[in-house]
Structure 1
Amino acid sequence: MGAGNKTLSEATAVIKKLRTPKANLAKVEFLACLAAFLLMLLTIFGSSRRRHNHQKLRVLLWAAYTFSSYLIVYTLGLMTEASFQNDLLPVWAIFLMIFFGSSDSYSIHSLEDCEHRKNYAWQYVIKITGEAPNYRKSLEITDRVVTIEKVWKCQGWLLRSEGGDKDSKLKDICLSFSLYKLLRLKFSDYSLPKQAHEKAWKLIQYLYAEGNGYERAFRVVELELSFLFDYFYTKYVTIFQPLGWRIKLVEFLFLVIGVPVMIGLFYPWYNSNRSQGEVQLATKGGLSIDFLVTALIVLIFACVELVQCFFMVISEWTKVSLLCKYARTNSWQESKLMEKLIGLICRTPSPKPWERKLHRYSLHESYDYTLQRWLYNVLTDLFMDPIRDGQTESAPAKLSSEVKEAVFRSLMSNPEALQNGEASLIRNEVEHELSWACKLGTQTQVIIVWHIATSIFEQMMPISDPSSNSNFLVATNLSKYLAYLVTFHLKLLPDHPYDSEYIFDRIIIEARHLLKDCKTVKERIQRLNKIGKTMNDTGKVMIQGARLGQQLLDVENEPNFIWKVLAEFWAELMVYVAPSDNAIAHAEHLAMGGEFVTHVWALVSHAGIKREPPLE
C-alpha cells in the first residue's frame, strides 16, 4: 500500500506541474511553433503533389493540411482562455492568423474542401458575363486585349522565331494560357460553338505540323493543365489580378525591411517593458524563451513568404503576364534591358509540371493480391483510399515519346469519327478475325480482354531487345496503363464506376478459379494459352481474353506485324476513351500527379470530339 500511495502521489504532483501557468505557456509556445512548421512544410512541398503520384506523399500533405487547421484553432483557443498574462500572446495569435490564410501554393487539398461544386455557378456567372459573348461574335481588338494572333505577330526581338524565341516556348506559354481559359469553361457546363472548336483544333494541327510536333502539342497541354491546377488548388488566380500582385509586392517589401528591424528592436523593448506578474519562460542564463519563440515564428513566416515569392516569380502566371505586357507595349520591345529581364524570368526552368509517368497494372501478375488487414481496415479506410482484392500496381513506366507520338498520330488520323479500336484493325486487314473483341458489352470488358491477349502474346513471343521496338513499347505500356485506369480510376473511363467495379471483381474471381495453383507468371500464361485453345467462349472475360490471345498467336505473319496491330489498336483505344463529360474527375486527379488520359482529354475537348458508340 505504501508503494502504491507513493506512486499515486508522484503522478498527482506531475499532473499539478502540467497545469501550472508556466506549463500552459510552454504548451502554447510548442503548438504555435509546430503549426508554423507544418505550414512551412505545406508551402515548400505543396506544389510537388501534382508531380508525384505517391500515396505516402498525399497522406503526409493531407495530414499536415488537416492537422494544421485544427492545431491553429486549438492554439488560439488556449490563448483566449489562458489564465495567465503574457504580452506576446497577441503577437503569436496575429502571426498564426496570417499563416492560416497566407499559403499561396496550397490553398486547398481537394475540391470538396471549399465546396467548389456549389460555387461553380456563382463563379462562372461573373466570369462568363465578360467572356461568354466573345465566343459568339468577333472580338473587338483593342490595345488592352492580347490575342494569340497579336503574340504571334509581335515584332519584338523576344517573341520572334528568328530572335529570342527560336524554340517557340515563349509563344507557347501564351497559347497554353489561352487554351486553359477555354478548357475552364467545361466546368461551368458552357458549350463552345463549333467555330471555336475548329479554331482551337487548327492551332493544335499547326503545332503538329513540325517534325516532332506531338512533343510541342503535349508541352502546351502540360502547361495548360498546370494553369488549371493553380486555378483550383492555389491562390494564383487572385494574386495575378491587377491589385493582387501589388499587394503581394508590398508584403514582400515589408518582409525584407520589417522582419530584421522587428527582431533587432523588439528584444530590448520587450526586456524593458515586461508587465508585473507576467508569466515568462527563460533559460538558466536568463535568455527569454518567449522571445526566442517569437523570433522563430517570425523567421518561419519570413521563409514561407520568401519561398512563396520565389514560386510566384518563376510561375507560368508571371511569365504569361510579362509576355502579354511585352506584346502590347512598344517601349518594352525597344528596351534591351526589359527584354533581357523578361527573357531571364521566362527562361528560368520551372519544376516539371507533371509526373510524366504511366502507372501500370498487370492482371496475370496481380489477380492473387490479397488485402493486408493490418494496413487496410475500418480505421485506415478513413485516411486512405479503399483497396480491393487484386488491386496492386506494377512498377510505373516513363511516358515515352513513342507513346505520345502513337496516341497523337491516332488522334490526327480520323478525329471526326472515333472508333473503339476497330479502325486500326481495318487498316491492318485483320478485322474479320479480331473485331469481335471490340464489340463487347462494356468498355471495361474490351480493355481487359485485349489486356489479357496482349500479355499472352508478350510472354509467348518474347522480343530480344524490347527497348528498340517502338510498337512493343507502345502496346505493352498502354495496355497496362488502361488496365490500371480500370483498376484504380474508373471515373476517368466511359463506363459507370459501379458497373466497372462489379465487372472487375468478377474478373478477379474468374482469374483465381481458372489459374488456381499457378504460382509463376510462366505457368499462368501457359494455362491461359491452354484455355484459349480448349475452352469455348462462355462470356467470361478471362476466357475471352485467352481466346483473343490465341488468335493473335495464330495470325499468319511475323510478330512485328502483330505488335504493329496492337500498338495502333491501343493508341486508338486511348483516344477513344478520352472524351468525357466528367470534368470534375479530371480536376481531382490534377492534385495526384495527373494522368496521361487527362492530357488526351484536354486535346479532344479543344477539338470538340465526341465519342460514338462502337460499331455493331
Structure 2
Amino acid sequence: MTELSLPSESQEKTQRLFFEGVLHGRNHKRVFKIMEMQLAFLTDYHYTRIPIGVWYGYPLIKFVTLVVTLVFGCLLAFDVHKTKPQEDDLYHHIKGVNVDRIITYVLLVSIAVKEGWEMILYMLSDWTKLVVICRYVEGSWLLRNRLAERIIQLLCRSNVVMRWHNKMGQYNILESFGYKPRVKQALHYGTLHMIKKPIEGGKAGKKIKIFHEVKQSIVDALSHYNINDGNLMNSMPSSLYKRWVRNSYQWACRQETFSHLILVWHIATSMCEIQLFEDTRPERSCLNSFVHKLNTCWTHRHPFMVHRKSLEGGTRSHYIVANSISRYCAYLLVFVPELLPDHVIVSEQVFQGTISEARNILGGCHSLESVLEKLKSVEGGATQMEGYDQERTIVQKGAILGRELLADPEMNTERRWKMLADFWVNLLLYLAPSEMTEDHKSRLLEGGEFITLLWALFSNCGIFDRTEENQVFGNGVISGEEQGPNITNQEQREAVNEQQYNITNQEQREASEGR
C-alpha cells in the first residue's frame, strides 16, 4: 500500500534484493511463494487482528486465557451435570432427557471450540512463524535445542489458512458474445438491484489453476528487464511491440485505449486457437464424432479448446501461456475493470460496443469454426492498417490481425504462439503497476487476483505507475518517439480517462448512425 511505502533508499535495496537475489536462477516456485506469503501478511494486516497481537508476551497471555476459559467451562459443565432440577423449577424435559442441560453443554463446547480454534489460527499464523524465526536467528536460548528446532520445523510446514487461491479467471469473447442473461436480469430488477446486474455477453469461464508455464514465463520476462536506471518500466514499452512483435504487426499495438488493445489481440489469439483446434483434431467418422462429443460433455476438464497433450513441447508451452493470459486479461476487462489502467466507464463502454459489433458481424454463426471463417472474410489487411485506420472497429482489427497471423508464411505454429505468448506476458506485466491500491486491497479477501500478485511485486520496488514512455493519451498507446504529455498524478489520469470516455461515446454514436 502506498501509505506503507518505503523510502527511496530502501526501495533501491528491495529492487536489488528481488531482481538480483530472488529472481536469481529464475525459480518461479520460489518467486511466487514469496509473493503469496507477502499477500497473506497484507491480508492479515488489513482484515485480521493477528498483527496486533504480535508483541512480546502476547502468546503467553493468549494461552493463559484459553486455559482459564477451558477450566471454568469444565467446572461449569460439572456443576450443571450434578444439579438436579426441583419439582417447581421451569425446565424442558422430553422423553426423559433434560433439553436445557443439553443446550448448556452445546454452548459450552461451542465456546471452547471457538477459543481453541482462534488459538490454533494464531499459533500457526504467518506472523507467529515470523516472530519465532526472528527469535531463533537472534539466538534465544529457549529455541537453541533440538526439540525447539523440531517444533519450529513443524510450525513452518503447517498451513491452516489458504488465502491465495492460485487461480485466474477466464473469458473468451468469441464463445460468449451471444450470451443474454434474461433470468439474471429479471432477478436483478425483481430484487431492486440487490443482485448484481449481469453483463450482456459477459459469460465467464471457469477459473483455472495458474499453470507453472505461466509463472515461469513471468519470471523469465522479469529477468530481462533493466533496473540499472532505477526505473524498471523504461524497458517495457519496447517489449510490447519493438522486441517481441514483428514490424508487420506493430499497428495492432497502437490502439486508443488499453481496452482496445486487449480486445484486438484477444480476438486474434482466439482465432489462432480455433485454427489450432482444427489443425490438431483427428479425422473421425460420424459415430466416433458423436461418441467423442458425448464423452467430452461429461469428462472434459481441460480449460482450453486444444488439449495440451495433443501439442508438442514448444508449442504446448507457448499456447498455454498465450491463451490463459489472453483470456485472463479479457476477464479483467469485463469483470474486474477497476484493476486496469482505463477508467471503469471506458472499459464498460468499449466492451459493450464490441459485443454489439460482434453480434452484428457474427450473427448466425452456430459454431466456432463458422465464427473463424466469418472473421477471416472481414475486408482489409495489414497494409491498409499501417496508417492506423481509425475507421476500423475492434472486431475488424482483431479479425485482420488474426488472419494475418494465420497467413504469415514466415511463421509456423510454434513461432506464432511464441510471439503471442511474449506479447501477453509483457502486456500483463505492463498493466500490473497501479496507484489504485484500494481496488487491489478489496480483492484480497476473495483470494486475490493474479494481477494483484504482480502489483505487489512492483510495489516492493517502488513502481506504482507506468513509465511516461508509453502513455494512453488521445489518439492511442504511443511509442517513445511520439511521446505525449507526462501523466504523473491522479487528477491528470482522470482527465485522460474522461477524454477516452468522450471518444468512445462519439465512436458508438457514429457507428449507430452508420447502421
TM-score relative to the length of structure 1: 0.65
Deviation of the 1:265 alpha carbon: 1.4
CA distance, structure 2, for counterparts of residue 600 and residue 201 of structure 1: 14
Deviation of the 1:368 alpha carbon: 0.8
Identity %: 29
Q: 1:327 to 1:243 in 2, by over 3 A?
A: same
CA distance, structure 2, for counterparts of residue 546 and residue 419 of structure 1: 29
How far does the alpha carbon of each residue in 1:377-400 deviate from its partner, in whole angstroms, 9 at most, with x for none?
224565443321111111322211
Name the residue aligned to 2:32: 218
CA distance, structure 1, for counterparts of residue 33 and residue 225 of structure 2: 22
Asked if the contact 2:188–2:195 (Cα under 8 Å) also holds between the matched residues in 1, the reply is no
Q: Does 1:506 align with 2:317?
A: no
Deviation of the 1:446 alpha carbon: 0.3
Q: Does 1:598 align with 2:452?
A: yes
Structure 2 stretches lacking a partner, 5+ long: 227-231, 281-309, 472-476, 483-515
Matched residue SS, 1:249: helix
Structure with greater Cα Rg? 1
Q: Does 1:554 align with 2:368?
A: no
Higher mean displacement: 309-318 or 235-244: 235-244
Asked if the contact 1:207–1:216 (Cα under 8 Å) also holds between the matched residues in 2, the reply is no
CA distance, structure 1, for counterparts of residue 234 and residue 208 of structure 2: 27
How far does the alpha carbon of each residue in 1:271-310 deviate from its partner, in whole angstroms, 9 at most, with x for none?
36x9x6x64322242x432222121111112122222222
Deviation of the 1:270 alpha carbon: 6.5
CA distance, structure 2, for counterparts of residue 244 and residue 585 of structure 1: 33
Deviation of the 1:607 alpha carbon: 1.8
Name the residue aligned to 1:423: 239
Deviation of the 1:421 alpha carbon: 5.8
Name the residue aligned to 1:493: 340
Higher mean displacement: 341-350 or 411-420: 411-420
Q: 1:291 to 1:382 in 2, by over 3 A?
A: farther
Q: Report how many aligned residue pairs link the two structures.
A: 425
Asked if the contact 1:366–1:392 (Cα under 8 Å) also holds between the matched residues in 2, the reply is yes
Asked if the contact 1:359–1:396 (Cα under 8 Å) also holds between the matched residues in 2, the reply is yes
Equivalent in 24, 42, 45 of residue 228 of structure 1: 42
Name the residue aligned to 1:611: 466
Name the residue aligned to 1:436: 251
CA distance, structure 2, for counterparts of residue 577 and residue 256 of structure 1: 52
Matched residue SS, 2:377: helix
Deviation of the 1:216 alpha carbon: 0.7
CA distance, structure 2, for counterparts of residue 270 and residue 211 of structure 1: 72
Matched residue SS, 2:169: strand
Q: Which amino acid aligns with 1:390?
A: G
Q: Does 1:205 align with 2:16?
A: no
Q: 1:206 to 1:417 in 2, by over 3 A?
A: closer
Equivalent in 208, 211, 224 of residue 400 of structure 1: 211
Equivalent in 244, 259, 272 of residue 457 of structure 1: 272
Please report the RMSD computed on the Cα atoms of aligned residues, expressed in angstroms. Answer: 2.4
CA distance, structure 2, for counterparts of residue 335 and residue 574 of structure 1: 47
Structure 1 stretches lacking a partner, 5+ long: 1-183
Q: Does 1:341 align with 2:151?
A: yes
Q: 1:304 to 1:477 in 2, by over 3 A?
A: same
Q: Which amino acid aligns with 2:64?
A: V
CA distance, structure 1, for counterparts of residue 154 and residue 5 of structure 2: 38
Equivalent in 531, 543, 552 of residue 396 of structure 2: 543
Q: Which amino acid aligns with 1:605?
A: S
CA distance, structure 1, for counterparts of residue 245 and residue 124 of structure 2: 51
CA distance, structure 1, for counterparts of residue 339 and residue 235 of structure 2: 18
Name the residue aligned to 1:306: 116
Higher mean displacement: 199-208 or 494-503: 199-208
Q: 1:365 to 1:418 in 2, by over 3 A?
A: farther
Q: 1:137-286 counterparts in 2 under 5 A? A: 184=1, 186=2, 188=3, 191-242=5-56, 244-269=58-83, 271=85, 279-285=90-96
Q: Which amino acid aligns with 2:136?
A: Y
Q: 1:429 to 1:579 in 2, by over 3 A?
A: closer
Q: Which amino acid aligns with 2:453?
A: H
Q: Which amino acid aligns with 1:321?
A: V
Deviation of the 1:244 alpha carbon: 4.0
Name the residue aligned to 1:524: 371
Equivalent in 170, 177, 188 of residue 367 of structure 1: 177
Q: 1:329 to 1:567 in 2, by over 3 A?
A: same
How far does the alpha carbon of each residue in 1:228-282 deviate from its partner, in whole angstroms, 9 at most, with x for none?
111222221223233543332122112332322221112334736x9x6x64322
CA distance, structure 1, for counterparts of residue 100 and residue 312 of structure 2: 62
Matched residue SS, 2:206: strand
CA distance, structure 2, for counterparts of residue 601 and residue 380 of structure 1: 36
Matched residue SS, 1:417: helix
Q: 1:574 to 1:321 in 2, by over 3 A?
A: same
CA distance, structure 2, for counterparts of residue 306 and residue 211 of structure 1: 42
Matched residue SS, 1:397: strand
Matched residue SS, 1:369: coil
Q: Does 1:377 align with 2:188?
A: yes
